[in-house]
């Protein structure tokens, strides 16, 4: 197995645990298709976690050490972060916790380690930034420009951004799609967080452009990636981020415009059209309604304007 050269956990863990760390890092990079920034952050979070355990136990970490970790141990690790990393923001602390939870989720799923106690830790409370939704015109302009390349990658990118907006997909969900997932043109099957499958109805514009992309991929097998890179492998998120950055510059849009902004805009536009939160929650694949409720603040300005214009007693 190829080892991630930029991370060396052998200092803090024995060979067996180091191997599992490498395997997880490759998994989140190549299968979960996390962005490069998230991947690097998770890798650093894992390294500091192992460093803490190494100091905690006084020896290189073994499988047995991971299996014997208690809730108190995990809380001690969180406390040590606050003490040693005074400048670590609440958001970074929450991400660090999410990274180690993801690591243990992987270990338990693969049956390398039997320890689920970390999942009883309460999520950190952080002040979430309200996403800045794009206007419908901005979305259309992004999709239009993405398709202006002269080769097949133009149709690929246009299909990708159309699908993210039309179905409210996370970038990782879109890039994990295989041809078989869009075989039924009416319903899109998506594997979301926690590998939960959800089905999303497709609008006509999405059906049309997917059909065009499938013509290009007509000789591909059903389990082949829907979105391919130049080397014939699954398109990665880093290339997509680069593409959206180029589009941003052309349209003079702020840095907040990312592929995820298209997903935010999908939810916000539905909310403004009167779609209820429970339905939007299902479409987005949110496990908690409170996550979806974050979009309500975005539309308050619009709602206030409509209310003033429509209310009989102005």
Which are the catalytic amino acids?
A: 170, 193, 260, 263, 286, 295
CB atoms within 10 A of CB 230: 10
- Phi and psi (nearest 5°) for 271? -65, -40
Instruction: Report d(CA 41, CA 147) in Å as an integer.
Output: 32
Show the 3-state SS of 269-300: HHHHCCCCHHHHHHHHCCCCHHHHHCCCHHHH
Closest C-alpha among 27, 29, 38, 44 to residue 236: 29
Instruction: Report d(CA 96, CA 74) in Å as an integer.
Output: 12
Instruction: Report d(CA 122, CA 125) in Å as an integer.
Output: 9
Q: What residue has token string 């409509």?
A: 306
**Alpha-carbon 20 to chain mean position:** 22
Strands (E), 177-244: 187-191, 197-201
């Amino acid at each position: 197995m190829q080892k991630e050269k930029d991370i060396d956990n052998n200092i803090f863990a024995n060979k067996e645990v180091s191997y599992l760390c490498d395997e997880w890092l490759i998994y989140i990079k190549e299968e979960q298709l996390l962005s490069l920034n998230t991947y690097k952050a998770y890798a650093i979070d894992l390294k500091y976690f192992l460093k803490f355990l190494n100091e905690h136990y006084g020896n290189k970490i073994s499988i047995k050490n991971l299996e014997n970790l208690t809730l108190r141990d995990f809380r001690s690790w969180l406390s040590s972060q606050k003490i040693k990393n005074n400048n670590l923001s609440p958001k970074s602390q929450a991400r660090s916790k999410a990274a180690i939870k993801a690591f243990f989720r992987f270990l338990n799923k693969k049956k390398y380690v039997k320890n689920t106690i970390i999942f009883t830790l309460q999520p950190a409370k952080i002040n979430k930034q309200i996403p800045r939704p794009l206007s419908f015109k901005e979305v259309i302009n992004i999709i239009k420009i993405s398709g202006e390349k002269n080769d097949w990658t133009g149709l690929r990118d246009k299909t990708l951004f159309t699908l993210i907006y039309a179905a409210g997909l996370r970038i990782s969900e879109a890039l994990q799609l295989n041809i078989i997932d869009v075989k039924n043109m009416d319903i899109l099957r998506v594997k979301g967080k926690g590998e939960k499958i959800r089905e999303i109805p497709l609008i006509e514009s999405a059906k049309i452009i997917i059909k065009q992309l499938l013509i290009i991929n007509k000789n591909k097998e059903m389990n082949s990636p829907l979105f391919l890179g130049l080397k014939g492998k699954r398109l990665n998120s880093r290339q997509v981020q680069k593409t959206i950055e180029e589009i941003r510059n052309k349209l003079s849009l702020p840095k907040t415009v990312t592929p995820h902004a298209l997903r935010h805009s999908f939810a916000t536009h539905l909310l403004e059209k009167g779609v209820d939160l429970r339905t939007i929650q299902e479409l987005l694949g949110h496990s908690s309604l409170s996550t979806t409720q974050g979009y309500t603040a975005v539309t308050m300005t619009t709602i206030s304007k409509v209310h003033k214009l429509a209310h009989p007693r102005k």
